Amino acid sequence: MEFRWRYQDAQGRDVAGPDVMFADQTEAEEWFSAEWRDLLDVGVEQVTLLRSESEVYGPMSLHPAT
């Protein structure tokens, strides 16, 4: 099974983002932790981790909790 991220705006609408597939959840999360600031800069407000088409978790805001 492949993992990938779904990218959304603040209203939960899908937005474009890097079309990257990962072999496992750890690889996907390591990529995300290195890239989340760049995603926020291009308009991604929240992400959901998918395994195939099933949600693993999310949506998760890219903004720090206050």
* Cα–Cα distances in angstroms (integers) from residue 35 to residues 1, 5, 28, 54, in the given order: 22, 12, 11, 22
CA distance to 16, 24, 26, per residue, from 2 (Å): 19, 7, 12
| Domain range for 19 | 3-46
DSSP state of 64: P
Query: Looking at the domain assignment, is residue 64 inside a domain?
Result: no
Which ranges of 1-66 would DSSP assign to H, the alpha helix? 25-41
53 inside domain: no
Q: What is the pLDDT of residue 64?
A: 81
Q: Residue 15 falls within a domain, yes or no?
A: yes
pLDDT averaged per 10 residues in sequence order, the chain, 66 residues: 95 95 98 96 96 96 84
Cα separation, 32 vs 5, in Å, equals 9
